[in-house]
Amino acid sequence: MEINTQTLRSAYVGFNAAFQAGLATATSMYGQIASTVPSSTKTQEYGWLGKFPGFREWVGDRVVNGLAKHGYALTNKSYENTIGVDRDDFEDDNLGIYTPMFSDFGATAASFPDTLVWGLLKNGFAIKCYDGQYFFDTDHPVLNETGDVTSVANTDGGAGAPWFLLDVSRPLKPLIYQERKKFNKLVRMDKEDDANVFSKKEFQYGIDGRCTVGFGFWQMAWGSKQSLDAAHYATARAALSSMKGDYGRPLAIQPKLLVVPPALEGAARKIVGNSLADGGGTNEWYNTAEVLVVPWLA
């Protein structure tokens, strides 16, 4: 193949078509537990986290629900991925071998947020959220009915493989995917006088974007490293369903999503997927949650 402006343009069109096809057909799962928040600045403030505004009888003046002054902010990070195409493959008209690679390139771009979101959830036992405590912790500060600070847990500890019970029914889900620049544009460095072509005889094609992830309301998530069995599942459901905001106001949390790594799929389905319990009795937890098996948690 003669390498010129036209052939380089045609190759890019083909690579980009494969990339876009992979981008369109990829399956991602992060949206089930993370709300996508568009970002227009380097750092986004989430000072309102910590407030679950509720209604009250209107007696006297309005009571304004101001932003909680937690100082929680998420700063976008830049990420990139690049493929190099050997000049020899251009000259030998051997570009067909790159089509599957560019398709997978697109699929990887589409699922990259999964890597960040599920990694953050898995490490929520050791990363702090808006109130200064670990996202999964035993001593989140909450004001009780009399206005005194009390400690509330959204974990029961353990040392095994982590599993999670979540309420994902609200507009703001337990995690946040903050998006500044999408990973959807394939750019190229394929001029013959580009440094990479001149020095390495390599045409380069890359994608980049800006984003970050963070935590929303810890009250909507339970994380456990205990054995996944009926007793610990019952503990998680009771704790989440009983969550209250400041001054004892029930939050009406509805734990409907049981998130597990592949190794715990069987245990999860035994708890909520079988209508009969061991011994033939009725399984009280049958169909109380949807099971989501997440390969990024393996």
**Kind of pairing between the strands at 187-189 and 202-215:** antiparallel
Q: Quick check: 210 and 181 in contact, CB under 8 A?
A: yes
pLDDT tens, N- to C-terminus, the chain (298 residues): 678 888 899 999 999 999 999 999 998 999 999 999 999 999 998 877 866 655 455 655 554 444 344 568 999 999 999 999 998 988 888 888 899 999 999 999 999 999 999 999 999 999 999 999 999 999 999 989 998 999 999 999 999 999 999 999 998 999 999 999 999 999 999 988 888 888 888 999 999 999 999 999 999 999 999 999 999 999 999 999 999 988 899 999 999 999 999 999 999 999 999 998 887 789 999 999 999 999 999 9
For the beta carbon of residue 107, count every other beta carbon within 10 angstroms.
Answer: 19
Q: Quick check: 154 and 221 in contact, CB under 8 A?
A: yes
Tell me phi and psi for residue 127, to 5 degrees: -120, 135
Cα 97 off chain centre by: 33
Question: Whole-angstrom Cα distance, residue 190 to residue 260?
Answer: 44
* Residues with Cβ within 8 Å of residue 121, at least 6 apart in sequence: 33, 164, 174, 175, 221, 223, 259, 297
